[in-house]
Amino acid sequence: MALLLYVASDVLLIGFAGLLLAVFLRVGADAITRWTRLPSGWALLAFILLIIAGFVLVGVFAAPVVADQADQLTQQVPRAFAALRSRLEGQAWSRALLDQVQPERLFSAGKAIAGGAGTALSATFGALGNAAMIFILGLFLAIDPPTYTRGLRALFPPERRGQVDTVLNELDEVLRGWLLAQLGSMAVIGVLTALGLWALGMPLVVALGLLAALLTFIPNLGPILSAVPAVLLALADQPVTAAYVVALYIVVQIIEGNVTTPLIQQHTIAMPPALTIAMQVLLGTLFGLLGLALAVPLTAVGVTLVRRLYVGAYLERRPVEPA
């Protein structure tokens, strides 16, 4: 297993990403079944068609604006950093810091992280190929989940299969709750950030709001990364505006925490923040950007398995030896 994790880490991460996609598709299909009484297969097809229609509408009405603002953002952030650098170069304390913090170094570091423990799979297919594989895996897992759960149950002795069913149901509930909570957080943060930046008179609010929404998928680290471009653009204008932008991002995080955190705590296990950050750093270092993005759900699955199969089924049921 250790050798498999080392040699085929990208394959396993892609498989887990496909599992998350399957959970998402089943959530939508189950909701349509409850509302319309359609059979499961037709409900899944209807949900996929709704997703495709949504992407088409976004592509027709929003894609030109997003693409234009994203292009402007990639051009203006280095300019804003250069303007900030010119302001601070006169200060002795800031010279050493500015020598270390440069856009070129940040971009090269980002590429190194994104490359992470790259394998021949990633090198051959690239991001587009990985996305296609994730979609295919997720689609097949969502079409017929019982086939795969029965195959997994068959690996265990009959007296343990009830416990396997319990663990699988709990993992399904944990992943469903986490995924719904993350999607809710992304929507809340994206909308509130765009509206707040628009109220402050900031440019490129659509791109910055979309960036904030997407990076929310990476808890703890994502919100900090999403604030950097907006703060740089504000600093290029006025330091006071930058302070308002920082305050806006903090307020948005507070609002999001009070709206979606209770949802997360209801449907998923509560994980200590230090454990979450440590696993993000570890998996990001070992497996790159995909490991960083999937660190939290992987940790939730690992904690659930340890609690159910090791602590609950072994430690707490071991007979106590007489002293």
Q: What is the mean pLDDT of each run of 10 residues along the chain (323 residues)?
A: 76 89 92 89 91 83 73 75 66 54 47 42 58 89 90 88 88 87 85 89 85 82 82 79 88 77 59 81 83 87 87 70 52
Phi, psi of 37 (to 5 degrees): 65, 20
For the chain, what is the domain count?
1
SS3 content of the chain, % helix, strand, coil (to 5): 85, 0, 15
Alpha-carbon gap, residue 231 to 216, rounded angstroms? 17
Contact by Cβ (8 Å): 278, 302: no
pLDDT of residue 106: 46
Dump pLDDT digits (tens) for 209-231: 888 888 888 777 778 888 888 88
Cα gap 119→71, rounded to integer Å = 30
Tens digits of residue pLDDT in 72-120: 777 777 777 776 666 666 655 555 555 555 544 444 444 444 444 444 3
User: Using an 8 Å Cβ cutoff, are 31 and 129 in contact?
Assistant: no
Residue 103 Cα distances to 106, 110, 301, angstroms = 5, 10, 36
Of 217, 207, 218, the closest CA to residue 184 belongs to: 217
Q: Which of 113, 155, 125, 149 is nearest to 14 (CA)?
A: 125
Residue 300 included in any domain: yes
Residue-range definition of the domain harbouring residue 205: 7-317
Closest CA to 66 of 214, 247, 216: 214
Residue 174 falls inside a structural domain: yes
Residues 6+ apart with CB under 8 A from 216: 182, 185, 186, 189, 190, 222, 223, 226, 256
Q: At what angle do helices 205-215 and 63-88 cross, to 10 degrees?
A: 90
Residue 323 maps to a domain: no
The H or E element spanning position 161 is helix 161-199
248 within a domain of the structure (yes/no): yes
* Mean residue pLDDT across the chain: 78
pTM assigned to the model: 0.74
Q: How many CA atoms lie within 13 A of 126 on its CB side?
A: 1
Residue 277 phi, psi (nearest 5): -65, -40
Is residue 183 a part of any domain in this protein?
A: yes
- Asked if residue 322 belongs to a domain, the reply is no
Angle formed at CA 8 by CA 7 and CA 11, multiple of 5 degrees? 165
CB atoms within 10 A of CB 186: 20
Structure tokens at 4: 């498999």
- 163, 166, 168, 171: CA torsion to nearest 10: -130
In a domain, 101, yes or no: yes
Other CB atoms closer than 10 Å to residue 192's CB: what's the count? 21
Alpha-carbon gap, residue 235 to 242, rounded angstroms: 5
Tokens of 135: 């979609």
